[in-house]
């Protein structure tokens, strides 16, 4: 069910809009004011916001500007509501990122049609974003999605001081698999390893395909010790994989590098440290977990 947030200090308008839209199977919540609307948007993350222009505590323009500046809320489409919007107001609102205007008093058919159109647009937008962020072979988030999430968690760490760790992984001797069994078998190995790593992660973690035979995991709210345990679980489970190919089993292994954000000045350096640590694991014999710095591996 799609979720719509109505932000309007006019109780009568809220009641009318809710009555008109209830027939379309949309879950509707409301906030009576701009500041309450911002809080509701943050807590509910709705699929669509109907936002009144004229409210005493904050104008709809100000609310829209704050929404579009927030990376977690900026993709929610906004439809402005107004009883007296001038052409200049409409241009200003569209320039701020609103997708449409609806004039009060509501025409039943127009209100429902414009809401349905905005929701269809949001569905297409979500689909495009999903495909742009998903690796088609493994079904895991891709490198772009990984870095977006890492930047978001880095910003959260800067605001709240939360823990943050990062894992890099690489399938050992993967070129040998492709050369011996062919790329179709190599793809099956990638898919199996991807599923194995994802299966060990918490819901709050983000496992991703970094590129080629490399994978990575963003591990928020977790110190280095917890991330090491996660990497070790993944390593053991991958070691137990048994894929038949040409009458013989393929038993892949993987090497892991783990780093956390303690004393690290940027998200990019965190990735670089995990990557360097991964190569240390490979140089030490593969099929093992290494930690940055080595002295913290316990």
C-alpha span between 104 and 111 (Å, rounded): 10
- Strand-pair partners of 257: 168, 290
Contact at 8 Å (CB) between 111 and 17? Answer: yes
Instruction: Name which of 30, 99, 34 is nearest 66 in CA terms.
Output: 34
Q: Which of 213, 222, 232, 268 is catalytic?
A: 213
C-alpha span between 111 and 18 (Å, rounded): 11
- Per the annotation, the verdict on 213 as an active-site residue is yes
In 184-288, DSSP assigns E strands to: 206-211, 214-220, 243-245, 248-250, 254-260
Instruction: Name which of 150, 130, 151 is nearest 141 in CA terms.
Output: 130
Say whether the peptide bond before residue 183 is cis (omega within 30 degrees of 0).
Answer: no
C-alpha span between 163 and 174 (Å, rounded): 33
C-alpha span between 206 and 219 (Å, rounded): 7
Provide the 3-class DSSP secondary structure of residue 97: coil
CB atoms within 10 A of CB 280: 16
Left, alpha or beta for 78 (phi > 0: left; psi -120 to 50: alpha)?
beta
Contact at 8 Å (CB) between 151 and 267? Answer: yes
Say whether the peptide bond before residue 31 is cis (omega within 30 degrees of 0).
Answer: no
Residues taking part in catalysis? 213
């Amino acid at each position: 069910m799609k979720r719509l947030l109505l932000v309007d200090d006019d109780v009568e308008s809220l009641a009318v809009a809710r009555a008109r839209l209830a027939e379309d199977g949309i879950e509707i919540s409301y906030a009576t004011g701009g500041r309450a609307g911002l809080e509701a948007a943050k807590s509910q993350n709705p699929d669509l916001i109907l936002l009144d222009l004229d409210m005493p505590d904050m104008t709809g323009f100000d609310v829209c500007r704050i929404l579009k500046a927030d990376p977690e809320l900026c993709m929610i489409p906004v439809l402005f509501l107004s009883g007296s919007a001038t052409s200049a107001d409409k241009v200003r609102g569209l320039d701020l990122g609103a997708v449409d205007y609806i004039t009060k008093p509501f025409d039943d058919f127009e209100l429902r049609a414009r809401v349905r159109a905005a929701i269809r647009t949001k569905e297409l937008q979500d689909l495009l974003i999903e495909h742009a962020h998903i690796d088609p072979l493994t079904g895991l988030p891709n490198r772009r999605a990984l870095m977006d999430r890492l930047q978001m968690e880095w910003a959260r760490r800067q605001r709240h001081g939360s823990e943050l760790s990062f894992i890099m992984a690489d399938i050992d001797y993967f070129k040998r698999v492709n050369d011996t069994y062919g790329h179709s078998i190599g793809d099956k190995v990638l898919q199996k390893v991807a599923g194995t790593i994802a299966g060990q992660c918490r819901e709050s973690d983000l496992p991703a395909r970094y590129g080629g035979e490399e994978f990575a995991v963003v591990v928020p709210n977790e110190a280095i010790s917890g991330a090491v345990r996660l990497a070790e679980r993944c390593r053991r489970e991958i070691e137990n994989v048994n894929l038949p190919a040409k009458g013989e089993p393929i038993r892949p292994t993987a090497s892991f590098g783990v780093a956390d954000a303690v004393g690290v000045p940027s998200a990019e350096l965190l990735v670089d440290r995990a990557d360097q640590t991964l190569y240390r694991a490979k140089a030490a014999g593969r099929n093992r977990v290494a930690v940055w710095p080595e002295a913290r591996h316990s």
